[in-house]
Amino acid sequence: MNKAYQRRKSQAKKVHETGARVRAKNIELARVEKQKDISKLESLRNQLPDAVKLEERLRQMFEQAGDQEALVQEQKRQNRTYESLLSLFHCLRLALFSKLERRHAVLNQLSDAYEKAMGDLRVVTQLIETLDQEDSTGSIQRVQESYNVWRGRDSNDNIMALEERLRENRMNVPTQVDVKALTEESIFDMLDNLPTESEGLEDDEPTLNHVPSYLPDALIPMYDQAVAWLVNMLVRLDMIKPSQARSSAWASAGLDAAEEKHRESKEEVDRIHEEIESLERSLRERTDKYGREDEFFAIQDKCVTKDMGAYTYELCFGGKASQISNNDGFRFNLGSFQRFDVDKKYNETDDRHYLSMLYANGQMCWNGPPRSSRITLECGDDDALLHVFEAEKCTYSMRAQTPAVCFPRATADDDESFNHEYFVHDEL
């Protein structure tokens, strides 16, 4: 009996020594990884003030860019000369508007006349077709002669030419909505598409903001002279700078760029904040999650299994416990890791605190509570699930081994007590 005990004691000691070396190696690995997190956290904390300053500066630039044009225009409006210039330019716009309206009315009249003529032609054509069907030679001849004289037979394309000219005029005339919008534009908005001395209008397509696109050719020189005179007066009176003659159309690109830069900077600040919070939370929870010396870090989410006949049980350290049917593969959730020390008997400085784990909030039992598991840990030279049984309804008791709990022993007394209490188990 004594020899058997000594043999088991010696075996347990060897297992403990091997497990302790694995544990020490895992602790060192965890220490390196923890130091990386600490260094990264320190780096992020150092980056944060500069990132915040940059975000604030870009925010101010964006706000200033958005307010700049409004402020400049308000300053211009406070100048007495502005009112007289505005009145003059308003008169010019009304004159242009009046001419455009008259041209629009003439084109509408022409369109109405064209539609009436086409209606008459359709009636005559139908009449001729009817006579052709009746085969009345004398009547047909007389109607055709009259029709040819009326239409102008010598110019077969008269109607097509008239239609083409009308179509061209319609394409070149603004709509009533466009004409009305022209009179409602601000004095600054009408200068938006004015090119600088070194540029011309590169876009051949007329746009709503480009006023000359809506004007008859005869009015464009008058418009250009008026705009040139107005811009020259505004520059001479120091109401605008030559570079500002483009106004808001050119400034909008800069405003969009400022907004994009500020958005990117704010996202960077938010990212740094999120990473700092995540790292701080991870460092705070390391003891609760990985143990006093991070001895469980290396086996985090490592899974071990045990085939118990009808079911295979799976334990994932720091993760979930599962029951898997060997018949159909159906998996039951037996709980997720909650804490060490199931019964809360020891503090975190005591090795025994880490010899048990509670897994709770698993899948609901039929007519019972949610499934849960109580795991007892013992020292081993590798990670393994040793035994599982259902201690109570939907409450499972598991015994597992891991080098993570091969704690150092200082004295022979410690050696004896650990062998007796934790390391020597009869097979169940």
N residues, the chain: 428
Say whether pLDDT at 423 is over 60: no
pLDDT at res. 246? 47
pLDDT at res. 249? 42
Distance in angstroms (rounded) separating the CA atoms of residues 402 and 382: 5
The structure tokens listed for 131 are 């006579």
State pLDDT tens for residues 361-403.
999 988 888 999 999 999 999 999 999 999 888 999 999 999 9
Helix pair 80-134, 137-151: axis angle to 10 deg: 160
Instruction: For residue 29, give the nearest of 419, 296, 391, 344 by alpha carbon.
Output: 296
Say whether pLDDT at 417 is over 70: no
pTM equals: 0.52
State pLDDT tens for residues 274-305.
999 999 998 888 888 899 999 999 999 999 99
Instruction: For residue 342, give the nearest of 327, 331, 352 by alpha carbon.
Output: 352
* Residues 6 or more apart whose Cβ sits within 8 Å of residue 196: 242, 243, 245, 246
Q: Which residue has the tokens 């010019």?
A: 92
pLDDT at res. 424? 41
Say whether pLDDT at 70 is over 70: no
pLDDT at res. 174? 55
Instruction: Decide: 75 and 68 in contact? Cβ < 8 Å.
Output: no
Say whether pLDDT at 244 is over 80: no
Distance in angstroms (rounded) separating the CA atoms of residues 269 and 127: 82
User: Quick one: three-class SS letters along the chain?
Assistant: CHHHHHHHHHHHHHHHHHHHHHHHHHHHHHHHHHHHHHHHHHHHHHHHHHHHHHHHHHHHHHHHHHHHHHHHHHHHHCCHHHHHHHHHHHHHHHHHHHHHHHHHHHHHHHHHHHHHHHHHHHHHHHHHHHHHHHCCHHHHHHHHHHHHHHHCCCCCCHHHHHHHHHHHHHHHCCCHHHHHHHHHCCCCHHHCCCCCCCCCCCCCCCCCCCHHHHCCHHHHHHHHHHHHHHHHHHHHCCCCCHHHCCCHHHHHHHHHHHHHHHHHHHHHHHHHHHHHHHHHHHHHCHHHHHCCCCCCCCCCCCEEEEECCCEEEEEECCCEEEEEECCCCCEEEEEEEEEECCCCCCCCCCHHHHCEEEEECCCECCCCCECEEEEEEEECCCCEEEEEEEEECCEEEEEEEEHHHCCCCCCHHHHHHHHHHHHCCCCC
Q: How confident is the model at residue 337 (pLDDT cuts 50, 70, 90)?
A: very high
Say whether pLDDT at 214 is over 60: no
* Residues 6 or more apart whose Cβ sits within 8 Å of residue 309: 326
pLDDT at res. 10? 83
- Mean local confidence (pLDDT), 2-13: 81
Rg (Cα) of the chain, in Å, rounded? 46
pLDDT at res. 60? 82
CA 172 to chain centre: 43
Say whether pLDDT at 351 is over 50: yes
pLDDT at res. 197? 42
Instruction: Decide: 359 and 380 in contact? Cβ < 8 Å.
Output: no
The structure tokens listed for 19 are 């497990």
The DSSP bridge partners found for residue 375 are 357, 398
- Mean local confidence (pLDDT), 344-368: 92
